[in-house]
Amino acid sequence: MNWFEDLLAAYDRPGRPLAALEQHGAWMLLRRESGVFRLVEKVGYSDSSFAYNFLESRPALLARTFAEGFDQPDGVAPSVPGRELWLAVDRTGTPDHLLIAELPAGVAGAGAVLRQALVASTASGRRSPGAAGVADDVDLPVWLRDMLPEMLERPGPLLILAEPGSGKEELVLAFLRSRFGGSRPAVFFHPGRLSEAVQLRELFGDPAGARLGGETQTTPIVERDEPAVVIQEAGDLAAHAQLRILARFSSGEDDLLWIFESSRDLERMAAAEKFLKGLYQMLEPGRLVLPPVRARRDRLEEEVGRLMRLFQVRYRRDLDLTDEALSAILAHEWRGNWRELKNTLESAFLMAPGASVHREDLRLGLWAAPEDWDDLNLRRRQEEMEKTLLLRAYSLHGGNQVHMARALGISRGSLQYKLEKYGLN
């Protein structure tokens, strides 16, 4: 198997795709710091010296690479005869990473695949300073990734306050994976509109109030093997359920890690006696407030770049974002928060007909959440899933409606109706 085949195969197995090049050539990875590219990693060279000085002496050679995403620089010889010298960047315009690679000559399409290897190796996110133990492959906004190390150092219980769509679900999952390992090492409980008796039964095993009527044999949440309990929307906890949780905390014998999520102002609810004041006082020291997108516009461009690189790897399309589209993103309200931002970019990436995502491809507002968004609203969840599946079918089948309908298991007429319904036609 040659280096090109190794590189393609690397997309389907763990580890960085760049590692597939180690047996076939040599490469250097550089990262931009304070406007200057500095060496991060070097593989396949016999010494630690920097082999190429054209980055400083002939910076104009990088212009075409920055514009196209990859290039073979003119007049620069590789260190080993018989190899070809390639340059690739993780994004056009102002890249964060530059890859210099020497590879066997004569492979068609080497530059494009090399760039995808670079994007795949950097798209999952780089560790923030001091973020030891943080999983690198979690899909988190850059501002929440920076909060994860602080969250890992807190003993608990934790209170995560955030507006809907802010990414709190992703942050909690990343926290659990980093702290305990595994995919979901916790019990997730959403009180919702459950009666007080049912909540007490689910949490503590009280005999009254079986769900949906009739008695069922269930293990109470506090007696299960998982090391953590996540209460989704703590504002829906019944009064006696809050009292029982407070009693466990006050006893000092509870070895579970409790995480409470809420999009409501629990402090105001406690002051109005709509939430147990003593429980809120127990939770307040572990409170984390997650910022919405509009509060982190200073890092919005960075997050857009991260998402674009993520989609390049996921869908193996080499698309960039026009300046006009980026300006529209930075100026948008993002009422649906990070969830709306991600869905908007992903749908534009999948449906853009050309090599770039333009402003009109964004369809701003298509993924905006309603003011009364409820995560348990089945109709809205179904609509969101349908839109996602339609977009992925479009990407897989190039917009061919016959093939899309067959893949989705619906008639072409139903497909056209749904495309019209969701503004995707």
- Nearest-angstrom CA–CA distance, 411 and 404: 9
Mark whether 302 and 411 lie in a shared domain.
yes
Mark whether 284 and 157 lie in a shared domain.
yes
Nearest-5° Cα angle at 242, 236 to 244: 145
- Domain end position, chosen among 270, 289, 308: 289
Mark whether 239 and 281 lie in a shared domain.
yes
Mark whether 55 and 7 lie in a shared domain.
yes
In a domain, 131, yes or no: no
Low-confidence ranges of the chain (pLDDT < 70): 1-24, 34-35, 46-57, 106-110, 113, 120-138, 182-184, 208-217, 369-378, 380-381, 395-396, 398, 425
In a domain, 81, yes or no: yes
How confident is the model at residue 368, as a pLDDT? 76
In a domain, 137, yes or no: no
Number of folded domains in the chain? Answer: 3
In a domain, 46, yes or no: yes
How confident is the model at residue 53, as a pLDDT? 65
Is-contact 300 293, C-beta < 8 A?
yes
The CA–CA distances, whole Å, from 236 to 104, 195, 258 equal 62, 10, 16
The domain that holds 115 is classified in CATH as 3.30.450
In a domain, 203, yes or no: yes
In a domain, 257, yes or no: yes
Mark whether 150 and 261 lie in a shared domain.
yes
In a domain, 132, yes or no: no
Tokens, residue 224 = 């299960």
Is-contact 161 283, C-beta < 8 A?
no
Q: Which domain holds residue 320?
A: 294-421
Mark whether 310 and 409 lie in a shared domain.
yes
Measured between its terminal Cα atoms, the distance across the chain in Å is 43
The domain that holds 381 is classified in CATH as 1.10.8.60
Q: pLDDT tens digit string along 306-351?
A: 999 888 877 777 788 999 999 999 999 998 899 999 989 988 898 8
How confident is the model at residue 74, as a pLDDT? 77
3-state secondary structure 206-258: CCCCCCCCCCCCCCCHHHCCCCEEEECCHHHCCHHHHHHHHHHHHHCCCCCEE
The domain that holds 231 is classified in CATH as 3.40.50.300
CA atoms within 13 A on the CB side of 373: 21
Q: pLDDT tens digit string along 219-246?
A: 888 888 888 999 999 999 999 999 999 9
Mark whether 338 and 401 lie in a shared domain.
yes
Mark whether 304 and 409 lie in a shared domain.
yes
Output the pTM of the full model.
0.64
Is-contact 105 84, C-beta < 8 A?
yes
How confident is the model at residue 79, as a pLDDT? 74
Q: Is the dihedral of CA 368, 373, 375, 378 positive or negative?
A: negative
How confident is the model at residue 375, as a pLDDT? 59
How confident is the model at residue 122, as a pLDDT? 62
